[in-house]
Amino acid sequence: MVYSEAALRAYIGACRSLFRSNAEFHELFPDLTALEQQVPGRKENLEEYWNPQLQRLAAQGTDGMLCVFDPQFPAVPPKVRRGNRPCLLFYRGNIELLQAPCRVAVIGTTRPDPSVVPREEAAVNALVKGGAVIVSGLALGCDSIAHRACLAGGGKTIAVLPSSLGHILPAANRPLAEEIVKNGGLLLTEYPAETADRYSLSGRYIARDRLEAYFSHAVLLAASNRKSDGTCGSRHAMEKAERHGIRRYAIYQPELDEDRLCMGLNRDYVEQKRAKAFIEADAAVICGTGEDPADQQSLF
């Protein structure tokens, strides 16, 4: 398992319950010196003492961990509040994908209309051809479509999890998670262990959604109903993207989608000009290889 001395100290701090949230971490450890003072000791001695915990991490398939003080830790938008800034990440797979020059989050409902599937697949295929790494949350529905379409197109994809690497959720997508890693992708989580509390688990899904936005250069909403029409987890990532100036797109064509419940949030974002209706040529713009196709007709 790969980790820096800073990541080791941060993990030990979590094991010792020195902090219970990202906000507490950043308050307690404003810099690396503070972390070293609060979690003292030589690296080899710390590794020896905490070996059982490290072995458990490795046994659940953790390839490594990153601390916010590591140079490889992914940047987040500068105005993200301290409490929302991640401090410790656990991963399996290709961690270098977090430094890819074009990362696009593709998100949406767990129950998309069948008509959405080929349109989302076409959008992901265009993004992959443009060189984008696809970021999503491994959920059923639109997330799974995004990951699978990326793999089918020969691309790399990052799955941000609401669970530990040893208990991937949803269970039905564990084979997909393995396929992602096998094909050079990345599984990423803030959580080294599970929670038995349903309220905490619900919070982890929302926290996962924010990272999808923070770790991406653009967010594409494949399909989502409004909050008033049922579960609407996608709004969390879209709201974070909007708040921090991350590019937002949505698959939406009025003549096809105006009356579809599963496209309600897409409609709101496009009609309110909070997101651009995605067309295939947008992929080149997002990836920095094309001109703005604002005047071109939507392919979706």
Residue burial 262-275, b: 16+ Cβ < 10 Å; e: rest: bbbbbbbbbeeeeb
Q: Using the predicted structure, report yes or no on whether residue 207 has a pLDDT greater than 80.
A: yes
Percent over 90 (pLDDT), the chain: 87
pLDDT for 69-98, tens place per residue?
A: 999 999 999 999 999 999 999 999 999 999
Same domain for 101 and 136, yes or no, is yes
Among 15, 39, 73, the domain boundary falls at 73
Same domain for 69 and 190, yes or no, is no
In terms of residue numbers, what domain contains 52? 5-73
- Please report which confidence band the pLDDT of residue 195 belongs to, taking 50, 70 and 90 as the band edges: confident
Same domain for 144 and 248, yes or no, is yes
Same domain for 107 and 66, yes or no, is no
Residue 296 has a pLDDT of 39
d(CA 259, CA 65): 45
CATH code for position 136: 3.40.50.450
- 84 inside domain: no
Same domain for 136 and 175, yes or no, is yes
Q: Tell me what the mean pLDDT of segment 120-138 comes to.
A: 98
Same domain for 68 and 106, yes or no, is no
- 223 inside domain: yes
- 141 inside domain: yes
- 295 inside domain: no
Q: Using the predicted structure, report yes or no on whether residue 300 has a pLDDT greater than 60.
A: no
Percent over 70 (pLDDT), the chain: 95
Residue 288 has a pLDDT of 86
Same domain for 31 and 106, yes or no, is no
Q: Using the predicted structure, report yes or no on whether residue 198 has a pLDDT greater than 90.
A: no
Number of structural domains the chain divides into: 2
Same domain for 186 and 108, yes or no, is yes
The phi and psi torsions of 117 (rounded to 5 degrees) equal -55, -55
Same domain for 42 and 163, yes or no, is no
Same domain for 106 and 52, yes or no, is no
- 85 inside domain: no
Give the type of residue at 170: P
pLDDT for 269-296, tens place per residue?
A: 999 999 999 999 999 999 986 655 444 3
Average pLDDT, the chain: 93
Among 26, 41, 73, the domain boundary falls at 73
d(CA 89, CA 190): 5
Q: In what helix (H) or strand (E) does residue 106 lie, and over which residues does it extend?
A: strand 103-108
Residue 292 has a pLDDT of 56
CB 189 within 8 A of CB 89: yes
d(CA 70, CA 66): 6
The phi and psi torsions of 255 (rounded to 5 degrees) equal -65, -20
Q: Using the predicted structure, report yes or no on whether residue 299 has a pLDDT greater than 90.
A: no
Same domain for 174 and 275, yes or no, is yes
- 91 inside domain: no
Q: Using the predicted structure, report yes or no on whether residue 11 has a pLDDT greater than 80.
A: yes
d(CA 47, CA 246): 39
Among 41, 73, 105, the domain boundary falls at 73
Pairing state of beta strands 218-223 and 186-189? unpaired
Query: Nearest-CA neighbor of 142 among 263, 270, 285, 282?
Result: 263
pLDDT for 218-258, tens place per residue?
A: 999 999 998 777 666 799 999 999 999 999 999 999 999 98
Strand order in the sheet with 218-223: 64-67, 88-93, 186-189, 157-160, 133-136, 103-108, 218-223, 247-250, 276-277
d(CA 62, CA 186): 11
- SS3 for 2? strand
Same domain for 174 and 124, yes or no, is yes
CB 106 within 8 A of CB 222: yes
- 82 inside domain: no
- 206 inside domain: yes
pLDDT for 25-50, tens place per residue?
A: 999 999 999 999 999 999 999 999 99
Lowest mean pLDDT: which of 7-21, 81-95, 192-206, 235-249?
192-206
